[in-house]
Structure 1
Amino acid sequence: MNPPTRQMNAIPDISVVLPTYNRSANLRRTLASVLDQRATTRRYEVIVVDNNSTDGTRTEVENAITRGAPVRYVLEPNQGVSYARNAGVRVACAPLIAFVDDDVCVDRDWIETICRAFEQHPDLDCVGGKVLPAWEAQPPPWLTRDHWAPVALLDFGDTARGINAENRLCLLTANFACRREIFERVGLFGTELQRVHDGIGSMEDHEWLLRFWAAGRQGMYVPELTAITDVPLRRMTRGYHRRWHSGHGHYFALVREPEFEASTRGRLFDIPAHVYRAAIQNAACWLVRLCRGDSAGAFLFETRLRFLMGYFRTRVADYIRPVRRPAAVLPRESEDPQRNTRVAPS
């Protein structure tokens, strides 16, 4: 199928926000997959948000625009993926807004599947789907589904599942869509917990979902909604996973998720008692498996300890030298002051 052409006066049914930073080669493939949708009557636009790239990103986007594709270029000078996504939301024209990352290729029915899910379930505020791997090489034996979080993979099976405050499944913005109006109720993506440059372990997706659940909103995991993400060799190393879990523990300490922070046995250094208990239990399990020669099993518990150590370091540092941090569930980010987002003429 030929890529859709730009219809200047038509309001799109769905806007696709694609943040990118210095991945022009990957961006070319991602754009091609979004534009190469199977026969559909849906009108859509793709908003590429350049987060200060220094490679050929703008040229890639301008080439697509020159070919008549329904693509817009936005420059977001504030560094960070949340700033980029928020910039895309602000300029989106459609009642539905989808998100995809610049190292992802979506299914050829992706647009149709999103629109159909919202039509069939008018009570839904967001949908998300599978993010499956395109391994650069055969993954090591220890890299099982227990270790999918650091490589941003997701698969909850082949059955649709409701997502709400009672069933808190975390979706990934690499393959995600929501109604535009939900941002007026829940707010934009928080910028205090975002990924910047090549930082890892961040929690901007999870924190937004915390506000989503707190607002009593409804989502759905749609198994037919499929995206494939690159998993490079560097993400298949134990060193990378150790760093990711340490970083994730740091961000988790900042977000102060209410259920995790609850404690019936008090706190020490502003850390709930159950966190100390979890650290002791995981350390014991790590040592037992290490003594048994179970390297893969030991590494699973090591990653949990890395997470807890990242959490401990941040929380103790804040206790000793208090720093103003985000609240447990960040307040709604209104039309925030980053007004220097630039949209290139198309």
Structure 2
Amino acid sequence: MSAPVRKAGDVATGEYDVSVVIPTFRRPHLLRRSLEAVQAQSLWLTRGGEILVVDNCPNRSAEPVVAALPVGDVPVRYLAEPRPGISHARNSGVSTTKGGLIVFIDDDNLTVETAIGDLVAALEETNASAAFGRYIALPEAACPPNSLHFIGPYSRDLGATRRDVTRERAKLGTCLSLFRRSALAKREQLFDPALGLTGGEDSALLRELAQEGHRFVYEPSAVGFEIVALSRLNRASLQRRRFRSGQIRVADAGGMAQRALWRGIGAVQFVLHAQMAAVAGLLGQRRRAEFHRGQAWGGLGKLFWRRPQPPFYGDDPLRKDVDAKAAS
């Protein structure tokens, strides 16, 4: 006999264990699969929960997806957040939910059925403030083998062992993550709206939490799969992503002295990896060459850091390709 399931009525007494927040922007074809995977989590057999979809599309493209979901043991709610930027979506999601534990899942992430339960176990067993799972990038459809040279940066794989990753926060982000609400309670706005279209809003939050003494744990058994559009599996997309990552790394460094240090690191990174890319190319090692090219572009992002940063979400032409496919 399975354990009893706590139903929606627990919200009124504040006894929901887990609130899952899924921000989304014009990707109903991916959102549907992501939601179905979260609904199927084995965690719901023993823990009370809720799922909140926060739609950042002014046309409310996610609303029909939520309305068409079958009723399950865990309630699924819809929230429209028309202010542009993922920061607004996440902030609204957290303020609207009531769980003591908050999970962030991206709309292009498919979680295995034990993933959220594994994050909860890691958090409770280590007494950390946040837990982060492992996600593996997969192309959305069959693609030429050469395209797979560019898929690595879309994954988060920090090894096969649970460990403290507080000092590695620059590698984390918030996809497939779990936070104690108590760790976030001091802030009126968790994610900086000024970074909502450029990226780096999650890095800024993690930096602040780490500075306050909060600890982060990585749980490799909490697995998800990030579905990557084929339009993003190319050299131009990889270079843009790496350049942006370099920009965020410098912005996240703190004061001007630290930023100057990271810009110097970026210069060295560019020179070394550009040379290694050239050598790998001459040896016919294409995958390795593309890796080093990406690292070189990350160095350029650090070296040429500037503020404000250019938009990466919403106005991103690669994102528009995905939007067009979703609308078709």
Q: Scaled by the length of structure 1, what TM-score is found?
A: 0.75
Gap regions ≥5 residues in structure 2: 310-328
CA offsets 1:180-205 (integer angstroms, 9 cap, x no match) = 011134761223333x3xx7xx3222
Pick closer, same or farther for the CA change 1:111–1:253 going to 2, 3 Å.
Answer: closer
Contact 2:6/2:46 (CA < 8 Å) preserved in 1?
no
Matched residue of 2:157: which SS? coil
Gap regions ≥5 residues in structure 1: 264-270, 326-346
Q: Scaled by the length of structure 2, what TM-score is found?
A: 0.78
Q: CA deviation at 1:309?
A: 3.0
2:184 alignment partner in structure 1: 183
CA offsets 1:304-344 (integer angstroms, 9 cap, x no match) = 332333344444xx6xxxx7x9xxxxxxxxxxxxxxxxxxx
Pick closer, same or farther for the CA change 1:217–1:185 going to 2, 3 Å.
Answer: farther
CA distance in 2, matches of 1:278, 1:112: 39
CA distance in 2, matches of 1:278, 1:226: 31
Contact 1:129/1:176 (CA < 8 Å) preserved in 2?
yes
1:261 alignment partner in structure 2: 259
Of 203, 213, 216, the match for 2:213 = 216
1:13 alignment partner in structure 2: 17
1:233 alignment partner in structure 2: 230
CA offsets 1:276-315 (integer angstroms, 9 cap, x no match) = 3333333333344444444433333322332333344444
Larger helix share, 1 or 2: 2
Pick closer, same or farther for the CA change 1:90–1:301 going to 2, 3 Å.
Answer: same
Q: How does 1:114-193 map to 2 (within 5 A)?
A: 114-121=119-126, 123-135=127-139, 136-137=141-142, 140=145, 143=148, 148-149=152-153, 151=154, 153-165=155-167, 168=169, 170-185=171-186, 188-193=190-195
CA distance in 2, matches of 1:164, 1:289: 33
Of 41, 50, 68, the match for 1:37 = 41
Q: CA deviation at 1:112?
A: 2.7
1:59 alignment partner in structure 2: 64
CA offsets 1:41-77 (integer angstroms, 9 cap, x no match) = 2110011101025364112223338778501211112
Matched residue of 1:154: which SS? coil
1:268 alignment partner in structure 2: none
CA distance in 2, matches of 1:310, 1:164: 23
Contact 1:104/1:228 (CA < 8 Å) preserved in 2?
yes
Pick closer, same or farther for the CA change 1:5–1:32 going to 2, 3 Å.
Answer: farther
Bigger radius of gyration among the two:
1
Matched length:
300
2:30 alignment partner in structure 1: 26
Pick closer, same or farther for the CA change 1:141–1:59 going to 2, 3 Å.
Answer: closer
Q: CA deviation at 1:5?
A: 6.0
Structure 1 residue 48 corresponds to structure 2 residue 53: yes
- Identical pairs, percent: 26
CA distance in 2, matches of 1:37, 1:300: 35
CA RMSD in angstroms comes to 3.2
